[in-house]
Amino acid sequence: MPKRIQISQHGGPEVMQIIDAAIPEPAADEVVVENKAIGINYIDTYVRSGLYPASLPSGLGTEAAGVVKSVGEGVTTVKVGDRVVYAQSALGAYSEYHAVAADKLALLPDAISFEQAAASFLKGLTVHYLLRQTYVVQPDETFLFQAAAGGVGLIACQWAKALGAHLIGTVGSAEKAARAKEAGAWETINYREEDVAKRVLELTNGKKVRVVYDSVGKDTWEASLDCLQRRGLMVSFGNASGPVTGVNLSTLTQKGSLYVTRPSLNGYITNADALTQASNELFSLIASGAIKVEVPEQQKFALTDAQQAHKTLQSRATQGSCLLIP
């Protein structure tokens, strides 16, 4: 029987169970995908823990790449045998087969492997909406990106370099600093050893930056605000250290009439046309080599090892993306 990961209660990695599940039948406008590689994302830990509510029992994961197994009534955009990738499915991508709405699928170019796609699609689309839509980063512009050696961060480093922009990336070790610089970061700051806001001030000759991208959350909130120019934009798009709570709006006034936004992919990729536009730009950069997607062997886990995968991800010991392989 095909396998899938399911949670019946919220909690730590131990609540994930491997169960038998029949191959689903596609409903109208749905496609069943045989997953070949499954993306693991930090947001999956939020669903598992209950930070992001889900009806229980529930599957986990929204991103994978694979081959179309069957199509439902009304589907004309893909056919059986097509190579596809998705990042915005209903929960349940941690599985051998998953039913996905057809308008959430992108055709995968032959030049990009299933593992490359699953390791980069959600993260790449995230970087697209961050750097190309939430705030349009310009050539030669300097900005701060917290957690630059993570899966999203390493793609952001490469994308920033392709744009001709100067990304200052925060990292937690010398090894991660080297990885971020290799990917295209202009400068790095080791937040364990350096004062981030002070270092940004030095790197920008006292000007600070117009935008900060922060997926860490609670632990970096104040430091990120302190890196912004007057009327700068704080883009808070994740909660790796816990959610930002109890925000005093007058703090934004005191620090320079700052702006704050809390965007999500689903707020930007809202239809098939938007998905096609963003994915085409991402695929073009990957195919050209401007964005390289490599997953270390130690960050590839069998589907049955999902618990260990989440433990490893949350240890902050990873660099780049992690995958489940059915």
Interior angle at CA 61, CA 60 and CA 66, nearest 5: 125
Output the pLDDT for position 148. 95
Q: What is the pTM of this model?
A: 0.90
Rounded CA-CA distance 246/27 in Å is: 43
Residue 282 has pLDDT above 90, yes or no: yes
State both tokens at 34. 């045989």
Predicted confidence (pLDDT) per residue in 144-182, tens digit: 999 999 889 999 999 999 999 999 999 999 999 999 999
Predicted confidence (pLDDT) per residue in 245-261, tens digit: 888 999 999 999 999 99
CA separation, residue 312 to residues 26, 135, 225, 305 (Å): 34, 32, 29, 11
Percent of the chain at pLDDT above 90? 90
Per the CATH hierarchy, to which homologous superfamily does domain 139-263 belong? NAD(P)-binding Rossmann-like Domain (3.40.50.720)
Helices (H), the chain: 42-49, 114-129, 151-163, 174-183, 196-203, 221-226, 249-254, 272-288, 306-314
State both tokens at 71. 């199509």
Predicted confidence (pLDDT) per residue in 91-104, tens digit: 999 999 999 999 99
Residue 317 has pLDDT above 80, yes or no: no
Output the pLDDT for position 151. 86
Element (H or E) spanning 32, and its range?
Answer: strand 30-40
Percent of the chain at pLDDT above 70? 100
Residue 319 has pLDDT above 80, yes or no: no
Name the least confident of 43-47, 136-140, 238-242, 317-321.
317-321
Name the least confident of 13-27, 73-87, 303-317.
303-317
Predicted confidence (pLDDT) per residue in 208-234, tens digit: 999 999 999 889 999 999 999 999 999
Rounded CA-CA distance 85/112 in Å is: 10
Supply the mean pLDDT for the chain. Answer: 95
Rounded CA-CA distance 62/66 in Å is: 13
Q: Where do the structural domains in the chain lie, given as residue ranges?
A: 3-120+269-325, 139-263
Output the pLDDT for position 268. 96
Residues 6+ apart with CB under 8 A from 28: 72, 73, 74
| Per-residue exposure over 159-168, b if at least 16 CB sit within 10 Å of its own CB, e if not | bbbebebbbb
Q: What is the CATH number of domain 3-120+269-325?
A: 3.90.180.10
Give the model's confidence band at 294: pLDDT under 50 very low, under 70 low, under 90 confident, else very high.
confident
Residues in the chain: 326
**For 95, which DSSP code?**
B
